[in-house]
Amino acid sequence: MPLCRGLRIEDAPIDELQDHLLTGRLTSVELLSCYMQRYYQTNQYINSVLEVNPDAYDIATSLDCERKAGKVRSKLHGLPFLVKDNIASADKLQTTAGSWALLGSVVPRDASVVSKLREAGAILLGKATLSEWADMRSNNYSEGYSARGGQARSPYNFTVNPGGSSTGSAIAVSNNVVPFALGTETDGSVINPSMRNAIVGIKPTVGLTSRAGVVPESEHQDTVGVFGKTVADAVHVLDAIYGIDGRDNYTAAQAGKTPNGGYAQYLSKAKVLDGARFGIPWKSFWQYADQEQLDTLLTMLDVLRTAGATIINGTELQHPEIVSPNGWNWDYGTVRGYPNESEYSYITVDFYNNIATYLSELSNTNIRSLEDLVQYNIDNFGSEGGTPGIHPAFGSGQDGFLASLATKGAQNETYYQALAFCQRTSRDEGIDYALHNRGNKLDVLLLPPDVAQAVQIAAQAGYPIITIPASVHSDSDMPYGLAVLGTAFSEASLVKYASAMEDLFVSSGSKFQRSKTPPGWSNYLDRNLPVPF
């Protein structure tokens, strides 16, 4: 990345960028120009940005005037950011979930999280590319592809799954197109691309960040998460966007469970690891990691032990049999013969109902229901892949949409049984059971997030998880991470230990840090589609 008016801002943390702005070494307009230069330098390669905000420079100018007048709104004042293209902004940008179907539609207002970031003085640079409809429309697809945005690619390896569905958000942060970004997760869509692009991702408890104005999948599992290069960066953003919102009833659950003064106060140094108790659910998750990752992650655990942490193996879910041995599968209940124990059984129902509610608030569009979306994809199968075998990025067409359509949104006995089963076995009899550890309580669980089943259980529970960079795999040239997982609204604890681990790995000079895992731009001339898993 070129210098920015003589200053190195590549991989610069938010605190350093803010210092440049506070001391006058840079203005917000100058900083925005440098990030825009990076966008133009890289986007034909990585395709992380779907659309650029034409008002970004005007916003930056206004924020510079505020700073000159002595007003600095927050740590994010004057810094540019991206949001995934399923997060609404009431400006000149589109909000389409990557589909041509919503092109030209007008949202009624900013998504709550966008409004909060504007209030914090951040500059919305644009919309990030994503997996179309956040991976809901198809079960055989190219991660990070959408009809509007094309294929996003990781700078680590252009021919390998870049992570999804918040693909562009993670890639842009990893590649210094913006210092931070927002994404959404229903099942793995924040943690997966974070880990696969060697950055920090925070997937909060469902109900900590508002989903108002976000194209939905499931009210029970959707959450807005954050991407940053460091734990501190991600936490500064989380502090700006969390809170109770009258437009999202789920956020009422956080009352009395969030800290006064936000989460940045829990950022810690390595010394807090002394006496910490971390659990390893080996049979539930770790056994499914490949040997190279296991070797690296186990060495990381040894480093944690040298800092005084106690690592306790065998802290399993009460029902490890609910975890697929063959990778991520959100219909694993049906695979086992029990659709009333399948996450997919309620996700498909939720989507049918939740998308209708979202579409009802849009203007300047005739798309009002899932039926309309399905028909649009059929009518435009060349670009939208509405039928199997037509479009390479959607090998199964729109089978996800069709599965949801078949439910007609009926919250029947199977729906409620599946919801109750997945929440009980992932919460009380899952993560909480493992954390209780037969009365010998643990601080957090440690997970290999490249084992997607681990992230899936956290998603079903609606519990928070943070991933930090670990290393790069020798076969794929792709990064992987180490994740910390806790119970509902335990973000303060996760921030404490994730930041302490990050500090330990950096201060000790270990190889387990982002600076030791630069992208290799492998196969940068190749443009295969779909990108294989």
Q: Which residues contact 380 (CB under 8 A, 6 or more apart)?
A: 100, 386
In this structure, what token pair is assigned to residue 376?
A: 């649009």
**Residue 270: count of CB within 10 angstroms of its CB:** 22
Catalytic residue among 28, 48, 75, 84: 84
Three-state secondary-structure class, residue 202: strand
Q: Which helix (H) or strand (E) holds 46?
A: helix 28-46
Q: How far apart are CA 151 and CA 479, in angstroms?
A: 19
- Select which of 28, 142, 189, 471 is catalytic: 189
Closest to 453 in 3D by CA, of 298, 270, 370, 330: 330
Residue 279, beta-bridge partner list: 312, 445
- The separation between CA 368 and the C-alpha centre of its own chain, rounded to angstroms, equals 27
- Cα–Cα distance measured from residue 372 to residue 193, given in angstroms and rounded to the nearest whole number: 30
List of residues 6+ apart from 413 with CB closer than 8 A: 340
The residues near 337 (Cβ < 8 Å, ≥ 6 apart) are none
Q: Judge contact between 445 and 432, C-beta under 8 A.
A: no
| Vertex 118 angle, CA 116 and 119, to 5° | 65
Q: How does strand 200-203 pair with strand 180-185?
A: unpaired
Residue 365, both tokens: 């569009």
507 counts as catalytic: no
Burial of 261 (0-12, 13-18, 19+ CB in 10 A): exposed
d(CA 455, CA 450): 8
510 is catalytic: no
Three-state helix/strand/coil letters over 316-343: CCCCHHHCCCCCCCCCHHHHCCCHHHCH
Residue 268: active-site member? no
Identified catalytic residue from 99, 165, 169, 345: 165
What radius of gyration do the chain's Cα atoms show?
22
Q: Which residues are catalytic?
A: 84, 165, 189
